[in-house]
Amino acid sequence: MAILVFGKTGQVARELAALEGTECYGRDAADLETPEICADLIYQRSPDAVINTAAYTSVDNAEEEETRATIINGAAPGAMACACAALAIPFVQISTDYVFDGSGDLPWQAEDQAAPLSAYGRSKLAGEQAVRAASGTFAILRTSWVVSAHGSNFVKTMLRLGAERDALNIVADQIGGPTGAAEIAGACHAIARHLIEDPIKSGTYHFAGAPDVSWADFAREIFAQAGLNCAIEDIPSSAYPTPAQRPLNSRLDCSATGTAFGIIRPDWRETLTHILKDLGVRS
């Protein structure tokens, strides 16, 4: 089985590169700002399935670069999905909790109305719509709060700041599920294989770590496992303004993913333990 992966250096792409049958392509081979090149690569390689991990992920910069973000996060996945539909192969697209407005306190269902608060969220929603419009075999996998030993993410930022400071102010009113890049990669790989055998399972799914937690409590667990003595002061999002508004409620109902593919929510505390070990923080 050959699975073509868009993305090479990102957190999820690096984990997918270690899985059987994957071929990862970076910007040098397929620049998402030129969607037709992405489609051409699929036609040239003619894989058994395609997974797109590549994206414009700078949430705050997207407020000033929405057109560019929408090409990368919207038009490019749409072109990929159309090529996959023409070849009758599955396409797996990673999306985000940012397509929702973060209201309420119940986990978001896959079929709930999307209402993004930010340019980044709108660009990712455009990608979802383009993938569905291609009318092929697909899975849109929404996830949240991605962490790993690679790249830039909350775990690595907290480890750095926790070692430098005695106390930190961390947002406590945003709630979601931290999700390991390795677990996302495994889920995408498994879903692609399922869809090859059973395309009727096409649809939109959620996948996030459990249990749901605030950023502040996530930071506390990072410091506890890393043995860092850094106090956490809970603050509201209003005390830490950013160019792009973040959703307060990023809880995702992942039950349909378990029913369709047998993929259950991973415990992010165990994921954190593995990340810290990979970083040399834990033995």
Catalytic residue flag (residue 120): yes
Identified catalytic residue from 56, 98, 120, 205? 120
Which residues 6+ apart lie within 8 Å of 97 measured at CB? 108, 142, 143, 144, 176, 208, 247, 250, 252
Task: Specify the 3-state DSSP secondary structure of 166.
Answer: coil
Which residues 6+ apart lie within 8 Å of 139 measured at CB? 90, 91, 92, 93, 191, 192, 195, 201, 202, 203, 204, 205
Cβ–Cβ < 8 Å for 182, 18:
no
Task: Specify the 3-state DSSP secondary structure of 1.
Answer: coil
Q: Tokens in use for 69? A: 């973000």
Task: Specify the 3-state DSSP secondary structure of 142.
Answer: strand
Name the residue among 77, 223, 72, 181 with its Cα closest to residue 136: 77
Task: Specify the 3-state DSSP secondary structure of 234.
Answer: strand
Supply angle C-alpha 275, 281, 283, rounded to 5.
90
Residues paired with 5 in a beta bridge: 24, 51
d(Cα 229, Cα 220) in Å, to the nearest integer? 10
Tell me the catalytic residues.
120
